[in-house]
Amino acid sequence: MKPFAFVFPGQGSQSVGMLDGWGDHPQVLAAVAEASDALNEDIGALIKNGPKEALALTTNTQPVMLVAGVAAYRVWMTEVGVAPAAVAGHSLGEYSALVASGVLTLAQAAPLVRFRAAAMQEAVPVGMGAMAAILGMDALKVIAICAEVTETFGENSAEVVEAVNFNDPGQTVIAGSKAAVEQACVALKAQGAKRALPLPVSAPFHSSLMKPAAVKLKDQLDATEFAVPQIPVINNIDVSVEQDPVRIRDALVRQAFGPVRWVECVQALQARGLSTLVECGPGKVLAGMTKRIAADMQGLALFDAASLAEVKTSLLEA
């Protein structure tokens, strides 16, 4: 089997019934039970029945996406048994990657991501922050225009907008205060962006407005025992592989209020000689981005029994 990387999706890929395609696979049931015990809540019922609105609450989305990614990984390891050469995760997905690499157990990670979600939501009141996807503009130009817009509010203003997710060469997500994001969308379109799409999120994730959340998260991370990774994990904030648990914790703290450098993460995986990325968990968002980041890389998706067979076949054929 040719070498490959597993990448784990973040918020936005959740859907009601997203684990149904695995049937009653013992590894999926075990992952759901482990997370449910850790959170003292029936996560399986929430995933299976929703409602969609409950699943979309960030305090629910983060743990259910963690569970879905880890469950898919465990099924792969049970059914196929070939470990990825490296792992990475988009935003929240980095926690799934850390579980896959043995740094955290699922029972440790589930309460951590729920705490992270709550801290992020508390950092900026609902309705005060915003995010938008900017399509068809170079990332450096997006950064520059966001800086110009922030400056227009004055030196000591709480209004801020920043580029926070570098998803692919033609898609950069911005975040910040609602007024600044709205003004930036107008400016970006006026200066050549094809589209500026407001995102249905409840907080300006990965912006500097999340620093209060990071302070709280640091205490939780410091109180959690981290193991040395068994598989290289490329992190979002530095696009680096860390072995020292202290440095892994620090990267997670900074990730909360720093950008997701996904384009560079994919390029770093490619630089390790990996030509296939397998998105491990619901949806095909990261698999779709892969080709747009690196034209000669292959993006596959692993989210149910049928896709597992397809991924296995594809990796064996090469």
Query: Hey, what are 157's tokens?
Result: 């203003």
Task: Please pick, among 91, 96, 101, 177, the residue that the annotation labels catalytic.
Answer: 91
Any residues with CB less than 8 A from the CB of 146 and at least 6 apart, and which? 161, 162, 163, 174, 176, 184
d(CA 217, CA 298): 35
Q: Which residues have C-beta within 8 Å of that of residue 111, sequence separation ≥ 6?
A: 38, 39
Within 13 Å, how many C-alpha atoms sit on residue 176's CB side? 22
- Cis ω for the linkage preceding 63 (within 30 of 0): no
The yes-or-no answer on residue 206 being catalytic is: yes
Q: Which residues of 78-110 are buried (b: 16+ CB within 10 A; e: fewer)?
A: eebeebbbbbbbbbbbbbbbbbbbebbbbebbb
| Residue 91 designated active-site | yes
Helix spans in the chain (H): 26-39, 43-49, 52-56, 58-79, 93-100, 106-123, 139-152, 178-190, 211-222, 245-257, 262-271, 285-293, 305-317
Which of 13, 90, 101, 206 is catalytic? The answer is 206
Q: Which positions are catalytic?
A: 91, 206
